[in-house]
Amino acid sequence: MREASSAYAGTLTPTLSTKIHGGGVCIVQKRGVREEASAVKANGKKKVFLMLSGGIDSGVAVPLLLSQGYDVEGCYMKGWAPDWVDCADPPERQASFDIAKKFGIPWRFLNYSEIFFDRVFDPMLSGYFNGVTPNPDTACNSMIKFGLFADFAFAAGAEFIASGHYVRKTDDPLRLLVARDPKKDQSYFLYDVKSEVLRHSLFPIGGFIKKDETIAMARRFGLPDAVLNKRPTVDICFLLKKRAADGSTVGERITMRELLEQEGERRGVTFAEGPITDERGVVLGKHDGVMLYSVTIGQKIGYNAATKIGIQGSGDRYYVAAKNVRENTIVVGSSHPRSSEVIVRDLNWISGRPAFPFSGHARIRTPQEMQVCRAEEGANGTIRVFFTEKQHSVAPGQALVLYDGETVLGGGIITR
């Protein structure tokens, strides 16, 4: 584990009190009076710690929870800031603070930067260096948001945690359900949340359609303009951006290539050019390192004329069919590789293990329509999943999630 940083202690104002948690810093802003927050209030309301990211979804969750009679505290978690680049303070932090101030709720800043590296980014990078395609979003949810943060919240006296995820939940019996908005459904990313945490989790926006309802509520509730006007991003989860040249604003994002180069160098990883071949072994082009060439199964291979990396010019399309780290080769095909069977390990079941054999639906990525499948128990705690229609681009390291209608049963990691 890297040395934990407390660089953000007291940086909002010199009068802020701080609280150390998990190698990071918790700063509390309480209804205009800076003081340590009391975990349980005297008014008897149920305490909820909300993951307040600074976006529309968690921002709308604040007034919804307040209207339901909860005593809400907003919590902002700082993502990983690599020490080999100057990272800017993300604008979402200020947006989170402004939302809390708008609704008069306590606000906490949790510096989980090094913990994000240890529990999310380090395993992600190890996956790429071993030739598989990891899923950091599911790890972020299970290890950080509904893991470390949940432990902190419950230890501090919260009865529930809440988030702006688009999922729904029922109690008695406990079930995790897909969102009402199919375009925003995030159930795939929550398959690995433990049932004891899910039982004490709230998802106040999971029953709303974002485009038609959530955004309208955000305007009606008066969320800050910076939140309303923020464009959606596809950046790596909880990775801070570089500081701009003027030193005051957020600049470019850190690319996956930069991450792999810098962190690979620290691990003594050697990136060497190697062949790109077809399935018969005919060399079609070259790559600059299987581990550095962070393509996944089914991804299209391009060509860089300046570096001569990729496959030049025949006019045909090629897609990654296999990667071999040991031999430093990439194998491609003229169409997406397809498979009707996968093996899944490291399983988590939301509401108990289903009876096998099981017939239902599954997803191997998101966004993806539900796919008809049959699942059977396999060897050594695995399951084998058979699809009615062959699935393209099945990538080891990604998650497979099983569904029974709208209910998320659970899932695991694709191994083959």
Question: pLDDT (tens digit, 9 = 90+) per residue, 268-313?
Answer: 888 889 999 999 999 999 998 888 765 678 888 888 888 888 888 7
Rounded CA-CA distance 94/220 in Å is: 21
Region 12-17 average pLDDT = 27
- Domain stop point among 333, 353, 371: 333
**Residue 131 banded pLDDT, cuts 50, 70, 90:** confident
**How many distinct structural domains can be found in the chain?**
3
CB 381 within 8 A of CB 348: no
**What's the order of all strands across the beta sheet hosting 303-304?**
303-304, 309-310, 283-287, 274-277, 329-333, 319-324
Same-domain status, 406 and 289: no
pTM over 0.75: yes
Region 389-416 average pLDDT = 93
Is residue 139 domain-resident? yes
Contacts of 275 (CB under 8 A, 6+ apart): 283, 285, 286, 287, 329, 330
Is residue 214 domain-resident? yes
Q: Flag the least confident range among 156-160, 194-198, 288-292.
A: 288-292
Rounded CA-CA distance 116/120 in Å is: 5
CB 112 within 8 A of CB 78: yes
Same-domain status, 149 and 296: no
Catalytic positions, written as ranges = 140, 237
- The CATH number that applies at residue 408 is 2.40.30.10
Is residue 259 domain-resident? no
Question: What is the phi/psi pair of residue 261, to 5°?
Answer: -65, -50
Same-domain status, 175 and 297: no
Chain-centre distance of CA 61, in angstroms?
19
Contacts of 304 (CB under 8 A, 6+ apart): 310
Within a 10 A sphere around the Cβ of 355, how many other Cβ atoms? 6
- The CATH number that applies at residue 321 is 2.30.30
pLDDT digits (tens, 9 = 90+) for 89-104: 788 899 999 999 999 9
Is the pLDDT at 3 greater than 80? The verdict is no
Same-domain status, 91 and 203: yes
**What pLDDT does residue 27 have?**
45
Same-domain status, 284 and 409: no
Same-domain status, 141 and 211: yes
Task: Give the range of the structural domain holding residue 324, as residue numbers without chain letter.
Answer: 274-333
Same-domain status, 49 and 143: yes
**What pLDDT does residue 106 have?**
97
**What pLDDT does residue 253 have?**
78
Is residue 257 domain-resident? no
Same-domain status, 342 and 329: no
**What pLDDT does residue 130 have?**
87
**What pLDDT does residue 114 have?**
87
Question: What is the phi/psi pair of residue 189, to 5°?
Answer: -80, -10
Is residue 250 domain-resident? no
Within a 10 A sphere around the Cβ of 240, how many other Cβ atoms? 23
Q: Flag the least confident range among 15-29, 62-76, 228-242.
A: 15-29
